[in-house]
Amino acid sequence: MSPLPRRRAAFTLLELLVAMTVLAILVVMLMGLVDSATKLWRQNETRVDAYREARAALNVISEELRSLVASTNLDYFSTNVVGLAGNSDPAAARLFFLATLSPAAQPAGSKSTVCSVGYFLRWARQNANFGGISAADPTPEGRHLFRSFYPSDLTYSNLVQTNPPLRDLAEPTAQGAPSAEILARNICAFEVKCYTTNGATAAQKYTAWTPASGATPQLIEVRLTAIPDELARRLDGKQADWTTNSSQVKQQMRTFVSRISIPPASP
């Protein structure tokens, strides 16, 4: 009697279904991991861009403060000016001063190196016709740091007027003034602190500067707190949530600090 033929080993239909199910689950899990990694990478990229812009703005402010024209005439240095038109946050810092900038940094034909420079935080929205923000601009509605610049010719014409020249800088739409430009987007806090010393000694201590001191400060500390563009878009239009006390902002904000020594004031 011949032996029965051996059956060839093979997967059953049930085994195939189980294997396909397991494989499908693994593929879905892998796609989820890839998607999460991609989102995380994009978030990090937007944060890096936002922080890079804030650092660049801080460098610009620091460089121009180093060229500040120190004077006992405080009309030429002003900080924490309140009442900017359209700004509902009077506690936000403003900084305006005279600086010596080379003619290369000014419009062609400028006859002097003394210019007026201003920095301020302002709530701006699209198609507001301010700071170059238009309906086609991708900049979301929010807080942005602006720079107002008066070249030497316009600065000189202001200097010879009766009114203090820096008062006009608080409103960049003043007659004859160039419109302000965005220096850094998505800045939720701009702080300026000024200090003076008790003398040029080894034990000198810095104390808070006040306009009543009769001179420009000897040390200026500038702080910029930035948030990523993605978060700014989620807060689009929600002005109350842009404070550094907001739980959403606290998680992703980053503060950059620069301290600039100012030369002694001249009479």
Instruction: Render pLDDT for 227-244 as a digit per residue (tens, 0 to 9).
Output: 888 888 888 667 778 888
Q: Is residue 208 part of a domain?
A: yes
Q: What's the average model confidence in pLDDT over 91-95?
A: 69
At 62, is the pLDDT very low, low, confident or very high (cuts 50, 70, 90)?
A: very high
Residue 59 has what pLDDT?
A: 94
- The domain containing residue 226 runs over which residues? 36-261
The count of structural domains within the chain is 1
Among 43-47, 127-131, 150-154, 202-206, name the one with the lowest average pLDDT: 127-131
Q: Is pLDDT of 99 > 90?
A: no
Convert the pLDDT of each residue in 38-52 to its tens digit. 676 666 666 667 688
CA pair distance 152, 100, nearest whole angstrom: 9
Average pLDDT, the chain: 74
- Kindly state the percentage of the chain with pLDDT values over 90: 9
Query: What average pLDDT does this structure show over 18-39?
Result: 82
Mean pLDDT, residues 98-102 taken together: 85
- Give me the pLDDT at residue 13, please: 76
Mean pLDDT across 253-263: 88
The answer to the question of residue 84 being in a domain is: yes
Residue 100: per-residue pLDDT = 87
Does residue 181 lie in a domain region? Answer: yes
Q: Which tokens hold the place of 73?
A: 């005439």
Segment 165-209, tens digit of pLDDT: 555 454 555 444 456 788 898 888 888 888 887 665 555 677 888
Residues 6+ apart with CB under 8 A from 133: 124, 125, 126, 127, 139, 182
> Structure pTM?
0.73
Compute the average pLDDT of residues 13-23. 83
Which residue is it, tokens 């199910």? Answer: 21
Residue whose entry in the numeric block shows the structure tokens 């002003």: 78
So what's the pLDDT on residue 257? Answer: 93
Per-residue pLDDT for 266 more than 60? no
- Give residue 188's pLDDT: 86
C-beta separation of 178 from 130 below 8 A: no
Cα separation, 31 vs 129, in Å, equals 44
Examine residue 17 and state whether it is found in any structural domain, yes or no.
Answer: no
Q: What is the pLDDT of residue 133?
A: 57
pLDDT at 262: 84
Residue 13 lies in a domain: no
- The Cα–Cα gap between 17 and 21 comes to 6
Give yes or no for a contact between 225 and 246, defined as CB atoms under 8 angstroms apart: no
CA dihedral 106, 112, 113, 116 (to 10 degrees): -70
21, part of any domain: no
* Assigned domain for 121 exists: yes
Q: Pick the residue with more confidence: 91 or 50?
A: 50
In a domain, residue 12? The reply is no
